[in-house]
Amino acid sequence: MSEPLLTIRNLRASVDDKEVLKGIDLSVAAGEVAAIMGPNGSGKSTLSNVLAGRDGYEVTDGEVRYDGQDLLAMEPEERAATGVFMAFQYPVEIPGVVNATFTRTALNAQRKARDESAIDAIDFLKRARATLARLEMDEDFLRRDVNAGFSGGEKKRNEIFQMAMLEPRLAILDETDSGLDIDALRIVATGVNAMRNPERALVVITHYQRLLEYVVPDSVHVLADGRIARSGDRELALELERAGYAAFQPA
C-alpha cells in the first residue's frame, strides 16, 4: 500500500550514444513535492524527457515504476492518460490551433483513454475561466494560438494552465522558473502550489533555489553527472544557494 507513486531504479540513458544518466535511484510519494537540482549538463532535462517518453533518449538499464506500472513500456500519450504531465522548458508553438481547442482535445483524448465521457465545450469553458482567473491570465488567452507569439512568461503560464486543466497525478516541471521575472515566478508558483494535494506528486526540476522559496519542497535531490549525488530536505537547497554546485562538479 505504501509503494511510492514513482520509483526510479538504476536508470541509465544515453543520448546520441553518450551516457547521460548513469544510474538514477529516486522515489517520490503521492503528496510529495520533490525538487531535483543540479548544474547545467547534469542530466536534469534528460531525466524529465525519459520520464515523459520522448524519442531520441535510449534507456540502457534500470526501471521506472509509476503507480504500479512499467512506465518505460508505455507510449507518451499512454503515460499522459495515466496522469503523467510534463511542463516543458521550451513549449512549442502550434500555429492555427487555439488554446481552448488544444487543451480540450487533450483533456478529452485522455478521458477517452480512461473510458471517461468527454467534457463538453460549456463545462470546459467554465473550468478554464476559473483556472485562468487563478493564474491571473486574460480570458483572451483561450482564443490565441497555442504558444504562438507568446512571451517566455506566457508560455510557462500556459504550461501551468494546461497542468491545472489536465489534473495529472505526477507532474514534472522542467525548469519552469527559467526566464521568468519575479512577478511571473510568483504567479507560476501560486499555480503550482494550488496543485499540491495528497494524491499528487510534483517533481520540480530547477537550476536555482529561488522557485523553492515559493514552492517549498518536501525533499531535495542533487543531480550531478548523471547520478543523485545527495538527498535532503529544504535545507539542502539553501546550502546549494550559498555554496554553489562546486562540490558536485566532476574533478
Partner 1 sequence: MTPLRETVETVERASGEYRYGFVTDIETERAPTGLNEEIVRFISAKKEEPEWLLEWRLKAFRMWLGLEDREPRWANVHFPKIDFQEACYYAAPKQEGDGPASLDEVDPELLRTYEKLGIPLREQEVLAGVAGAGNVAVDAVFDSVSVATTFKDKLAEMGVIFCPISEAVRDHPELVRKYLGSVVPQGDNFYAALNSAVFSDGSFVYVPKGVQCPMELSTYFRINAQGTGQFERTLIIADEGSRVSYLEGCTAPQRDENQLHAAVVELVALKDAEIKYSTVQNWYPGDAEGKGGIYNFVTKRGACRGADSKISWTQVETGSAITWKYPSVLLQGDRSIGEFYSVAISNLRQQADTGTKMIHLGRDTRSTIISKGISAGRGQQTYRGLVRVQPKAGGARNFTQCDSLLIGDTCGGHTVPYIDVRHPGAEVAHEATTSRISDAQLFYCRQRGLDPEEAVSMIVNGFCRDVLQQLPMEFAVEAQKLLGISLEGAVG
Q: Which residues bind partner 1 (CB under 8 A)?
A: 52-56, 75-77, 79-81, 85-86, 88, 90-92, 94-97, 101-103, 105-110, 113, 145, 162, 166
Name the residue nearer to partner 1 (CB basis): 173 or 212: 173
Q: Quote the CA–CA distance of 193 and 45 in Å, as a whole number.
A: 22
Minimum Å gap between C-beta 143 and partner 1 is 12
Enter the C-alpha cell of residue 215.
Answer: 514552492
Name the residue nearer to partner 1 (CB basis): 56 or 250: 56
Minimum Å gap between C-beta 247 and partner 1 is 34
Name the residue nearer to partner 1 (CB basis): 85 or 248: 85
Q: Quote the CA–CA distance of 80 and 76 in Å, as a whole number.
A: 6
Give the relative orientation of helices 99-113 and 152-166 as an angle to the nearest 10 degrees: 30
| Burial 76-104, CB ≥16 within 10 A → b, else e | eeebbbbbbbbbbbebeeeeeebbbbbbb
Measure the CA angle with vertex 224, ends 220 and 228; round to 5°.
50
DSSP state of 27: E
Name the residue nearer to partner 1 (CB basis): 195 or 228: 195
CA neighbours closer than 13 Å in the CB half-sphere of residue 246: 5
Q: Quote the CA–CA distance of 35 and 172 in Å, as a whole number.
A: 10
Minimum Å gap between C-beta 66 and partner 1 is 14
Enter the C-alpha cell of residue 77.
Answer: 500519450
Name the residue nearer to partner 1 (CB basis): 80 or 236: 80
Number of helical (H) and strand (E) elements in the chain, helices listed first: 8, 12
Q: Quote the CA–CA distance of 6 and 68 in Å, as a whole number.
A: 9
Minimum Å gap between C-beta 34 and partner 1 is 20
Name the residue nearer to partner 1 (CB basis): 79 or 157: 79
Minimum Å gap between C-beta 111 and partner 1 is 9
- Amino acid at site 130: A
Name the residue nearer to partner 1 (CB basis): 33 or 52: 52
